[in-house]
């Protein structure tokens, strides 16, 4: 456990021992979502980015099955008062219309935006966003670095 704090940004790391731990952590975060949060998920293939979103959606009360948007580029889920737009730009060759679509989605106050492989469109994302960086450790364990502007502290209350 490491904790680093600057005036506006918090950085914490935690170890998630297996996929169940990732799902449970994500579900706790999901249960605290208010709408409008932007979460960038960073890490190699199989690191656990989509697993996190599955837990996030469950915690937010979404009952639909969540799957990877790696082929569809975008999947949408909604529940009472809250939507999750889950993007994966891994296979995106040219950003084209997506830039505008992403920008519009970011303006929806009830929508949580979760993005895997944001790189090609990261300039469209607000600098005030939550970043989760997944790093595989031996066995099923993952080290996750959680960086967030202080106004999103409510999402991680008691986690570190
Ligand atoms: P990504 O979206 O980063 O490519 P996925 O979430 O789709 O990754 O896949 C992660 C895979 O690793 C899943 O099969 C999941 O069950 C497995 N896994 C094992 N341990 C963990 C862990 N601690 N956290 C998340 N996923 C894990
Ligand atoms: Mg994925």
How confident is the model over 46-75, as pLDDT tens digits? 999 999 999 999 999 999 999 999 999 999
Tokens of 128: 């005030």
Confidence of residue 99 (pLDDT cuts 50, 70, 90): very high
Q: Where are the beta strands (DSSP E) in the chain?
A: 2-5, 9-16, 38-42, 74-79, 82-88, 111-116, 130-136, 142-149
Beta-sheet strand order (sheet of 9-16): 2-5, 9-16, 142-149, 130-136, 38-42, 111-116, 82-88, 74-79
Residue 19, ligand 1, Cβ within 6 A: yes
pTM of the model: 0.95
Q: Determine contact, residues 130/42, Cβ cutoff 8 Å.
A: no
Q: Which residues lie at CB < 5 A from ion ligand 2?
A: 49-50, 68, 116
Residue 78, ligand 1, Cβ within 6 A: no
Ligand index nearest the alpha carbon of residue 134:
1
More confident residue, 7 or 73: 73
Ligand index nearest the alpha carbon of residue 47:
1
């Amino acid at each position: 456990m490491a904790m680093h704090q600057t005036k506006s940004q918090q950085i914490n790391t935690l170890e998630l021992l297996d996929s169940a731990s990732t799902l449970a952590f994500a579900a706790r975060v999901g249960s605290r979502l208010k709408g409008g949060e932007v979460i960038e998920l960073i890490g190699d293939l199989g690191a656990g980015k989509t697993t996190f979103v599955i837990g996030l959606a469950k915690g937010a009360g979404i009952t639909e099955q969540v799957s990877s948007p790696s082929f569809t580029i975008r999947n949408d889920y909604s529940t009472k008062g809250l939507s999750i737009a889950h993007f994966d730009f891994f296979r995106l060759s040219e950003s084209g219309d997506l830039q505008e679509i992403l920008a519009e989605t970011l303006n929806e106050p009830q929508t949580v935006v979760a993005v895997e492989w944001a790189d090609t469109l990261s300039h469209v994302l607000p600098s005030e966003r939550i970043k989760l960086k997944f790093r595989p450790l031996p066995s099923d364990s993952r080290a996750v670095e959680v960086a967030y502007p202080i106004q999103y502290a409510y999402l991680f209350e008691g986690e570190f």
